[in-house]
Amino acid sequence: MNSLNVNSDLNEQQLLAVESTSNHTLVLAGAGSGKTKVLTHRIAWCIETGQVRPDYILAVTFTNKAAKEMQHRIQSLIETPINRMWVGTFHGIAHRLLRMHHELANLSPQFQIIDTDDQLRIIKRILKELDFTDKEYDPKEIQSRINFWKEEGVRPIKVQLEGCSSDEISLQIFKEYEAICIKSSLVDFSELLLRVYELFSDNISLLETYRSRFQHILVDEFQDTNKLQYRWLNLLASQKNNFFVVGDDDQSIYSWRGARVENMQKFRKHYPDYNLIRLEQNYRSSSNILSAANALISNNPSRIGKNLWTNKEDGKPLMLYSAYNELDEARYVVDTIESEIQSDHEHKLADCAILYRVSAQSRVLEDALRLKGIEYRVYGGFRFYDRAEIKDVLGYLRLVFSKNDDAAFERIVNFPPRGLGDKALGAIREGARFYNVSLFQAAETLLKNEELPTRTQKALNDFFIVIDDIKNHEVTDNDSLSELIEIISLKSGLIEHFKKEKGGRGLDRIENINELTIAAKDFDGVEENGILESFLTQASLESGETQASEGADCVQLMTLHSAKGLEFKFVFILGLEEGLFPHKRSIGSMDQLQEERRLCYVGITRAQEYLCLTHAESRRLHGSEYLTSLSRFVKELPESTIEHVRIGGSFIDFSNEGKQSPEGDYHLGQSVKHDIFGSGIVLALEGRGESLRIQVNFEDSGIKWLVASYAGLKKI
């Protein structure tokens, strides 16, 4: 392909972006607008028209996969070899620069890159050397703090403490950690960027060399850059270089990973002569879906602003299903998928994606899919019973059930961390071999005989106290099994441990554990061997075997964060309720609430043809049932784009208090009394005549569904 037809397949705005003559260009690329196409064509056009040689181009992406795809696409457009072009991730390019200039960067030529696991091991070692335990100070929290400081461009000497004792310890560890890394020539991921930034800042002549070298700098997913990445780019680009960035402030959803959406506004201030080009034509979604997305995101006041449009027809309206609870929600979604696939043989299971805000929501979905025999895969994560925190709780359950379960013992004896290191575990394993008993029994014997160091004995004793406390709880039914899981999560220290995890990950783990307690309440597979064994057996059978293999035709389950960059014919977004989506952690912060709205926008714009939104009128959280309220995000969608769905009865708008039932006997908000459950308020009505069902929130007994003809309710 020659320079005359490189850009022949671009729309008007794409062409304006590709052939921009401004030194500084900001391309505001909406979802499904051909962002990658514009980037690759821009590079190809610049090379083919003789504006720049390939080796004078720096193209930055966020993943190695994206970098390889970019290279492949460019090479398919032009005949000029591009093997000398600099294209890669921030970390990959930084590594290349440090290898070339290790002396100026004060690094050994043999410096080694360490990953996050290696970094964590060093931090744990430092804690141990300073006579701190993992229980006193969470190594992962310290790791997160150190990386945060580095991404802010701050060395230990310049850290400003805010009077927090944990920060003082983190700073102390930071100093020791940095000393070890310097001594051993180790470089972590955050250090790569910081070291290059310092390399250029401290060596102006080298900086000018690379400013001259990289005449064209292009950046993909600019909205996801962090503070240090932006400072690095801004330093390298200057006012003279051709600086071309592509991003979408409406799709900035990774602030918890350090991404700064405000970098797009900073670009506009730093380069006042910039050329702003909006890519608004969407090639993915129907008009109805885009109308909903535009209306939703318009409620974010700080955005640059754009409006997606398409040449496609209006398409189907958005389905809004009001479920009774999360079980009904899962059943409806799975039934809908089943009927769509059966009704049209051209549709595949892989065309369907189920999106949710928190990973714990997958549990009931997985159960519903298994019940129907529909293959599925949890994209970018683990199935519910394969998640580490679930396996941790089940490990305690298994050990309570059987002292001979060595695998369970090894998993939980030092988790949460109790100071039982490899040496202590090695002694227990040796004891098990010597006495020919299980690890648990060996530990008991070694403890009784005082054959272990004092510190190890104390840690083991604390562990046995926890196990004994748990064993004192008798499991006779689903409620007692659920209570046992709650006891384990608290007495083991798991909840306290996960609370310390940064970035919301720990809270996600806690939500998964809470979901496990609900699973125990719902459990209906009691066998002759008892409920505990039956539950553990089912959990084992549901772990690892039923997930479809990668590339198989299967339904995709994923969090909304994992869905970015993907597209599907059929998309289901579940749990659109206040406190769940938007998440309760965001409601008190305007910035976080805006990011939640952007996350919803990302979810909506994944859909090509069919979009279904669901909410549950009541949902079980932390083992209890709660009445929910509809997400503000649904209320921000145009009513003209939505079709309300209610299976088994008419749609009921909860905002219309006083609405009459089909029989006129009861109305929403009415006070009633039951002989056993006591007084309550009518929440929902369904059906007619003898089939009339009433949902009541009882003051003492919680939410119940009752058949009116049998309930004997009295109106108050």
Please pick, among 48, 176, 221, 326, the residue that the annotation labels catalytic. 221
Residues 6 or more apart whose Cβ sits within 8 Å of residue 499: 506, 507, 510
Please pick, among 19, 36, 69, 665, the residue that the annotation labels catalytic. 36
Q: What angle do CA 108, 118, 379 make, to 5 degrees?
A: 125
To the query of whether residue 134 is one of the catalytic residues in this protein, the response is no
To the query of whether residue 251 is one of the catalytic residues in this protein, the response is yes
Confirm if 216 and 122 have CB atoms less than 8 A apart.
no
To the query of whether residue 486 is one of the catalytic residues in this protein, the response is no
Please pick, among 260, 357, 387, 606, the residue that the annotation labels catalytic. 606
Element (H, E) at 645: strand 642-645
Please pick, among 143, 223, 229, 251, the residue that the annotation labels catalytic. 251
Please pick, among 14, 35, 398, 418, the residue that the annotation labels catalytic. 35
To the query of whether residue 35 is one of the catalytic residues in this protein, the response is yes
* 271: helix, strand or coil: coil
Instruction: From 539, 536, 545, 571, select the one nearest 556 (Cα to Cα).
Output: 571
What is d(CA 419, CA 415) in angstroms, rounded to the nearest whole number? Answer: 9
Q: Where do the DSSP E strands lie in 233-361?
A: 242-247, 275-279, 318-323, 352-356
Displacement of CA 129 from its chain's centroid (Å)? 34
To the query of whether residue 336 is one of the catalytic residues in this protein, the response is no
Report the first-to-last Cα separation within the chain, whole angstroms: 80
Phi/psi region, residue 669 (left: phi>0; alpha: psi -120 to 50; beta: rest), is left
If you write DSSP's letter for every residue of 101-133 in order, what string do you get?
TTTTTT--TT-EE--HHHHHHHHHHHHHHTT--
The count of residues in the chain is: 716
Taking CA atoms, 288 is separated from 11, 315, 355, 642, in Å, by 22, 6, 19, 9
Using H for helix, E for strand and C for coil, what is the string for 582-634? Answer: CECCCCCCHHHHHHHHHHHHHHHCCEEEEEEEEEECEEEECCEEEECCECHHH
What is d(CA 449, CA 431) in angstroms, rounded to the nearest whole number? Answer: 11
Residue linked to tokens 């910035």: 591
To the query of whether residue 36 is one of the catalytic residues in this protein, the response is yes
* Torsion angle in degrees (nearest 10) through CA of 454, 458, 460, 462: 180
Residues recognised as catalytic: 35-36, 220-221, 251, 606
